[in-house]
Structure 1
Amino acid sequence: MKIFSAQQMRMADEATMVSAKITSLELMERAATQIFNLIHSRLQGSPIMIHVFCGIGNNGGDGLVVSRLLLEHGYNVKTYIVNFSDNRSQEFLSNYDRLKEIAKDWPIQLKCEEDFPQLKREDIIIDAIFGIGLNRPLVPWVVSLIKHLNTSRCFKLSVDIPSGLYSDKAPDDPEGVIFANVTVTFQLPKLVFFLPETGMYTQDLEVIDIGLDRNFLMQNPGIGVLINKNEILPLYRPRHKFSHKGTYGHCVVIGGSYGKIGSVVLATKAALKTGAGLVTAYIPECGYEVLQTTVPEAMVIADSDDELEEITLDFTPAAIGIGIGLGTGEKTISAFEEFLKENTSPLVIDADGINILAKKPEFLDKLPKKTILTPHPKELERLVGKWKDDFDKIEKAKAFSKQYDCVVIIKGANSITVFEDQLYVNNTGNPGMATAGSGDVLTGMITSLLSQGYDPLHAAVFGVYLHGSSGDIAVQKTGFEGLIASEIISHIGPAFIELFKRPNVEGQQEK
């Protein structure tokens, strides 16, 4: 599913009005009716009190339509107009007049803190104050209103985006944004819902189809793609009957140092479980017995005692994953540099491999094209520099990707794979995966996919999705706190199987 910017959504609206020969007012009616249908299907005429807070632009116009439809279907509704300016959109004014025609009580005007209504915890709030077009700080009393709504502990539904949230930057006041229980957004998801600083403002996301022009949606690449099963299935490379282990590549996992051999164990196991035909672990001598004992399916090459001082291979691997547990000692850095000079295999670089690149940026020019980098937040900061917010972080990652022709994975709750100007936002995974070794597993999985012949970008996107899916399956047995990296590896196979399950009519999964 594509992700559009606010400007692209406005362009989609305009294209729809032209192609469908409808007015903006008719498009608003269509969109708000879909929100009403969703609410009505859940409440089924419940006598609960619904408070609809409307701004004075088009988001407020959506709220007025929802209020009118709720009243027409017998719901208890109070409508409030948040008068933060003298300017009103024409669509807002038209729907305001329509609402007044049927409402016993005209919309309540809010102009200051003294006007704030009393709310009961069992009430429902519909937030239609600001939409995705918000581009300036809120006036102080409106910030107070939002805080008032948040502290009410009512169930809150936001229309298109939580009010106070910008679509392209972090909020000015973190407390001046609606914390929505659910956000019902139009047609396509927005990037703001998937970033650490801004994703917390909506607990649940519903994307509703409002019939925007299909040709425009298909032809416009958007700013990114939300990765679900439908986006992954076309990437999958099925196996054939007459294949053998050589068909699926020989990958090498390079890393480890005294006390950090476990990271290589995890990456090596993950590479095997993800389907690589052959896997070799290249480690210091101190980890030899550990690898041979814990991963009998893998081959092992050992260097000096406690850290890698030389990295030389007498064959050309199909792919290499390097950096996990590697250390950043002078001898290891020197070995890493010589390795980069000689290497011609596709690369995945993680952990201390990234830290070495941050210390020695001149090494970056030696990376093969489409090298995959998998930093956690602090490693990314060392690589691209500090950022002012999550949007700036993404722009820095884009610039880095273009400069060095590489793929950058911004790891997090919704890991984002960045290649040049495109973003691939992952939609699997859970908080239990915030555990030691989880990143090592991801490195092994992506390296394995590379060795099997996947394009580097596809290997990164598929690997991130599969990693999250494995964690999602595992956590059903372990709970968040009980999930460890080894459990993620154990559920890689079930994650592959889950790819080909289809929902039955009850919404349950079946083969």
Structure 2
Amino acid sequence: MKVFSKEQIYEGDKLTAERQQISSTDLMERAGTQIFNWMHARMQGAQVPIHVFCGIGNNGGDGLVLARHMVTHGYNVNTYVINCSDKRSKDFLVNYDRIKNVTKKWPTLLSCSEDFPEIHPDDIIVDAVFGIGLNRSVDDWVKGLFVHFRNSKAFTLSIDIPSGLYTDKAVEDENAVVWAGFTLSFASPKLVFFLPETAKYTVQWEVLDIGLDQEFLFNTQTEVELIGKHEVLPNYIPREKFAHKGQFGHALIIGGSYGKIGAVTLTSRAVLSTGAGLVSAYIPKCGYNAIQASFPEAMVITDTDEEKITDITFDIEPTVIGFGIGAGTNTKTAYAFETFLKSNKVPLVIDADGINLLSKKKTLLKLLPEQTILTPHPKELERLIGTWKNDFDKLKKVKTFSKKHNLILIIKGANTITVFDNKLYVNTTGNPGLATAGSGDVLTGVITGLISQRYNPLIAAIFGVYLHGRSADIAVEDFGYQSLIASHIIDYLGEAYIDLFKQPEQPPKHLDDEDTSK
């Protein structure tokens, strides 16, 4: 799913009006009506008090359209106008007159804290105060109103975006933002719904189709893409009847040190469970018996050193190499890594201590093959690119880093983001159960296993993150968040593949839906 910027949404509104030969007021009517239809389908006339708070711009105009339809359908609705400026949009004024024509209970003008209405926990708040065009600080008394919303404990529904939340910059004062239980977003979700610092401002979201021009929606390229089943399924490569293991590559996993052989075992298991034909683990001697006994499907190559990687030499021809899992940052390991990079031509996936070694000597970045994949956790990312002020600053620095070095970076989190060049791919699978030791090692194995099967590195990164998260989503149904461990993610990768082709369950058929014409 494309995630449009606010500038693109404005352009889409303009093109839609031109190509469909409608006015901006007509488009606003369409948007407000869609919001009403969404609420009406769920409320079915219930007489819960509804408080619609409208700004004086186009977002407020959407709210007035909603309120008017609520009034004409007999809902218990109270409408308020946040009178925070003398500048009112043309379409707001049109709809302000329209709502006054259908009810004697005109919208209440609010201008200070003394005007705040009483709101009970069982009421519903509709937030239509500010939209995506907000470009200034929120007045103190409006902040007070937003705090009033939160203190009321009432369910809050935001239109398009929680008021006070910007689409392209950080929040400075959390009291200046509406905390929504649900957001109905026009055309596409907003990037801020998925970032650690701003996702908290809406618990759930849904996209409303307001009839924007289809050619515009289809042809416009976005900087951000939301990744779900429908986005990854076209990239799936099926297997032929006469396929054999030699067609699916030989992955080499290099890493491990005394006490950390388990990490290499997890990664190697994930490689094969994702579909690679063969996997070899290059480890210190101390791990030979452990990995051979616990994972007999793997082949093992040992370093000359007992406890750490000191010399990376092998006589196989791997399709892809995963490096760094549990390797440590010993001086000899660092030297072995640098020596290896100088001669390596094989695609790489680098995790954990491999990233730490790159951070310690950034000149090594020049030795990485194009589109090498790096999978840092937050502290490893910080060592690599430096500190950041906020999520937007972090994304900017990661994009710059990716473009400069022609690398793919995976920013791990609740919504893991894959970054390549100037584009962001936001994942939608995964859950808090992934916050467990070894889950990152598994992710490295999944991505390495996909590249082994000849998936393009960028596709492997995006698809791998999706599969990893989806496997955890399926596994958590059996184990719960607290008891999920990294091995479970591997065990459920097969279910994640099968799930790609499952159709959503259809709701049970009602008697009045049956064909009685016979």
TM, length-normalised to structure 2: 0.97
Query: Residue deviations 1:367-388, cap 9 Å, x none?
Result: 0000001111111111111111
Distance 1:313 1:210 in 2: 59
Query: Residue deviations 1:321-351, cap 9 Å, x none?
Result: 1111110111010011011111111100011
1:163 maps to 163
1:246 maps to 246
Q: Is the 8 A contact 1:252 1:279 kept in 2?
A: yes
Sequence identity of aligned pairs in percent?
59
Query: Which amino acid is 1:359 matched to?
Result: K
Deviation at 1:169, TM superposition (A): 1.1
1:364 maps to 365
Query: Residue deviations 1:128-181, cap 9 Å, x none?
Result: 011111111101111111111011110110000001100001112023211111
Against the structure 1 CA distance between its residues 16 and 507, is the aligned structure 2 distance closer, same or farther, given a 3 Å change threshold? Answer: farther
Query: Residue deviations 1:289-343, cap 9 Å, x none?
Result: 1111111100111111111001112122101111111101110100110111111
Q: Is the 8 A contact 1:319 1:450 kept in 2?
A: yes
Distance 2:426 2:508 in 1: 24
Query: Which amino acid is 1:56 matched to?
Result: I
Give the match's secondary structure for 1:29: helix
Q: Is the 8 A contact 1:137 1:172 kept in 2?
A: no
Query: Which amino acid is 1:480 matched to?
Result: Y
Distance 1:291 1:175 in 2: 53
Greater Cα offset, 50-59 or 311-320: 311-320
Distance 2:450 2:173 in 1: 43
2:80 maps to 80
Query: Which amino acid is 1:196 matched to?
Result: P
Matched, 1:466 2:467: yes
2:352 maps to 351
- Equivalent residues in 2 for 1:129-144, closer than 5 Å: 129-144=129-144
- Equivalent residues in 2 for 1:31-430, closer than 5 Å: 31-303=31-303, 304-430=305-431
Q: Is the 8 A contact 2:301 2:314 kept in 1?
A: no
Give the match's secondary structure for 1:175: helix
Give the match's secondary structure for 1:216: helix
Deviation at 1:267, TM superposition (A): 0.6
Give the match's secondary structure for 2:325: coil
**How much is the aligned-residue C-alpha RMSD, in angstroms?**
1.1
1:15 maps to 15
Deviation at 1:240, TM superposition (A): 0.5
Distance 1:333 1:399 in 2: 26
TM, length-normalised to structure 1: 0.98
Deviation at 1:478, TM superposition (A): 0.9
Query: Residue deviations 1:194-248, cap 9 Å, x none?
Result: 1001111111111111111111111111111111111111110101111111110
Query: Which amino acid is 1:75 matched to?
Result: Y
Q: Is the 8 A contact 2:147 2:175 kept in 1?
A: yes
Give the match's secondary structure for 2:176: coil
Query: Residue deviations 1:353-406, cap 9 Å, x none?
Result: 111111100000000000001111111111111111111111111111111111
Q: Is the 8 A contact 1:4 1:222 kept in 2?
A: yes
Distance 1:4 1:289 in 2: 53
Q: Is the 8 A contact 1:59 1:159 kept in 2?
A: yes
Distance 1:252 1:225 in 2: 31
Query: Which amino acid is 2:416 matched to?
Result: S
Give the match's secondary structure for 1:74: coil
Q: Is the 8 A contact 2:248 2:452 kept in 1?
A: yes
Against the structure 1 CA distance between its residues 193 and 265, is the aligned structure 2 distance closer, same or farther, given a 3 Å change threshold? Answer: same
Q: Is the 8 A contact 2:373 2:461 kept in 1?
A: yes
Deviation at 1:408, TM superposition (A): 0.7
Query: Residue deviations 1:75-133, cap 9 Å, x none?
Result: 00001111111111011111011011112211111111111111110000000011111
Matched, 1:441 2:470: no
Q: Is the 8 A contact 2:58 2:92 kept in 1?
A: yes
Distance 1:104 1:477 in 2: 56
Give the match's secondary structure for 2:402: helix
Q: Count how many residue pairs are aligned between Structure 1 and Structure 2.
A: 508
Give the match's secondary structure for 1:204: strand
Structure 1 outlier segments of 4+, above 6 Å: none
Query: Which amino acid is 1:283 matched to?
Result: I
Distance 1:19 1:507 in 2: 40
Distance 1:403 1:368 in 2: 13
Give the match's secondary structure for 2:88: coil
Query: Which amino acid is 1:119 matched to?
Result: I
2:477 maps to 476
Query: Which amino acid is 1:4 matched to?
Result: F
Against the structure 1 CA distance between its residues 235 and 441, is the aligned structure 2 distance closer, same or farther, given a 3 Å change threshold? Answer: same
Against the structure 1 CA distance between its residues 403 and 175, is the aligned structure 2 distance closer, same or farther, given a 3 Å change threshold? Answer: same
Distance 2:360 2:95 in 1: 60
Query: Which amino acid is 1:367 matched to?
Result: L
Deviation at 1:185, TM superposition (A): 0.2
Give the match's secondary structure for 1:428: coil
Query: Which amino acid is 2:432 matched to?
Result: P
Give the match's secondary structure for 1:118: coil
Q: Is the 8 A contact 1:193 1:199 kept in 2?
A: yes
Deviation at 1:504, TM superposition (A): 3.6
Query: Which amino acid is 1:221 matched to?
Result: Q
Distance 1:161 1:284 in 2: 53
Give the match's secondary structure for 1:156: strand
Matched, 1:506 2:507: yes
Deviation at 1:190, TM superposition (A): 1.3
Distance 1:33 1:312 in 2: 67
2:452 maps to 451
Distance 1:128 1:362 in 2: 51
Deviation at 1:507, TM superposition (A): 8.7
In structure 2, runs of 5+ residues without a counterpart are 510-518
